[in-house]
Amino acid sequence: MNTLVDVLNELDDGTTTDLVAKIVEETDSTFTVRYLSPTKKFYGERVIYKYESDTYVIDKSCVSGYYDSKDEEDAGFEKIEGGWVQVENDSDYQPSDEPETESESEESVVESEED
């Protein structure tokens, strides 16, 4: 099995976050997972992640996303000696400061739906 998923977790401060986990077992309503968790070690300036030795049984409804992959690289991690690190985003993409506007085709669809 070992498919990767995002699991919605509530943190101690009440906020929620998605954590990457590997499915190790499945029943009709639950998954047994092993979380890919940050350690206190660093690789340069990046935190090293390792799979926890403990497993957790979660309801399938807690899964917020499926990677359809067993490869941690598909989840944004890079294998290094001693664990995994998140891949740095070297993209040159800069979001526009200008507000988005609807295209003419979108406006005409909206207008025709109101008729």
Token digits of residue 13 = 């401060």
* pTM (whole model) above 0.85: no
**pLDDT for residue 95 is more than 90:** no
If 0-12 CB within 10 Å is exposed, 13-18 middle and 19+ buried, where does residue 64 land?
Answer: middle
Q: Which residues pair with 38 in a beta bridge?
A: 49
> By three-state DSSP, how is residue 63 classified?
strand
Alpha-carbon distance of 7 to 30, in angstroms, equals 12
In the chain, where are the structural domains located? 4-89
In sequence order, what are the residues at sequence separation of 6 or more whose Cβ sits closer than 8 angstroms to the Cβ of residue 19?
A: 6, 7, 9, 35, 36, 37
Can you say how many angstroms the Cα of residue 106 is from the centroid of all Cα atoms in its chain?
31
pLDDT for 40-73, tens place per residue? 999 999 999 999 999 999 999 999 999 989 999 9
Alpha-carbon distance of 15 to 26, in angstroms, equals 27
pLDDT for 78-89, tens place per residue? 999 999 999 976
Q: Residue length, the chain?
A: 115
**pLDDT for residue 8 is more than 50:** yes
Alpha-carbon distance of 59 to 64, in angstroms, equals 11
